[in-house]
Amino acid sequence: MAVRSMTGFGRGESEHGGRIWTVEIRCVNNRFLDLKTKLPRGYAGIEERIRKKVSEYHQRGRVDLVLSVSGDFSDLQHVSANLEIARNYHQVLVQLADEFGLDSDITLVQLSSYPDVIVREQKEEDLETIWPYIEQALVDGLENCTLMRSQEGQALAADLQGRLTNFGVTISTIEQSVPQLVQQRENNLKERLEKLLDNTEMEPMRLAQEVAMLADKTDVTEEIVRLRSHIQQFSAFIGDGGAVGRKLDFLIQEFLREVNTIASKINDAAVAHHTVDLKSELEKMREQVQNIE
């Protein structure tokens, strides 16, 4: 399974009996799955089914889903006559005609024009009958959205792999410079001690202890080993794909922790420049990872 972005758009459509169901899905990054649905009146009974289907395609992200229906609704229209009200209207009209000596020529058109004599009702959809067609539109929309998310995910993965390679090269550069830095600091230490002791010979054992302490403070072997392990894990997660965004985000934090330790241990201008580059690269990687599911 490829790495997927949390940003995408998908549209699906299904038709039956003169009606057309359209599903539009828009999604952006979010720490958790946050689904917002907008359904036609009378469709609340299938909202849970829609949520379940969406969760099969999205594990994280803000998902806005709109279901709309258009077309011929004549089969849902029911027209009937309210005979009781019509009878009351007729009686009143006859009474008025008798009272005022008028002709009681009451026509059907006249009677039917009065309010509530002819009643038109909108029947509710049979959700069980139409669900297969709604589901088809929903699945098509989700598939199209997933395709877009996967395409963007591939671009994100390629960018991260490239940055990860550059990150590893910089780490190797720092590692190669450490022995020279230790030797240089050892020489500087000897020079300072000689000046302090005014050419008095220092005990070899004491000098060895001072050099060992200096080397220990400058040793970043453990940090580099952990960084290389994190690089392998990061690359493996990208290769495995799926919902790896949280794992990658955690590793970014671990990367930053080790880089900060290296920066604090080695007080050297060139190394400081490299660690600044590493932090800058990690920030860019973090921004990309925020968009990965």
DSSP SS3 for 75: helix
pLDDT at 126: 87
Pull the structure tokens for residue 168.
């590893």
Question: Rounded CA gap, 209 and 205, in Å?
Answer: 6
Is the distance from CB of 50 to CB of 67 less than 8 angstroms?
Answer: yes
Whether the per-residue pLDDT at 182 is higher than 80: the answer is no
Q: What is the pLDDT of residues 59-72, one digit of tens each?
A: 999 999 999 999 88
Radius of gyration of the chain (CA): 38
Q: What is the pLDDT of residues 116-137, one digit of tens each?
A: 888 887 778 889 999 999 999 9
Q: Name the pLDDT band for 268 (thresholds 50, 70, 90).
A: confident
Question: Rounded CA gap, 261 and 219, in Å?
Answer: 11
Q: Name the pLDDT band for 212 (thresholds 50, 70, 90).
A: low
Going by C-alpha positions, the residue among 273, 274, 279, 223 that lies closest to residue 256 is: 279
φ, ψ for residue 6 (rounded to 5)?
-95, 0
Q: pLDDT above 70 covers what percent of the chain?
A: 88
Whether the per-residue pLDDT at 80 is higher than 90: the answer is no
- Mean pLDDT across the chain: 88
Helix ranges restricted to H, the chain: 47-55, 83-100, 108-112, 127-197, 204-218, 221-240, 245-265, 269-289
Question: Rounded CA gap, 226 and 13, in Å?
Answer: 50
Is the distance from CB of 251 to CB of 234 less than 8 angstroms?
Answer: yes
Which has the minimum average pLDDT: 117-131, 175-189, 265-279?
A: 175-189
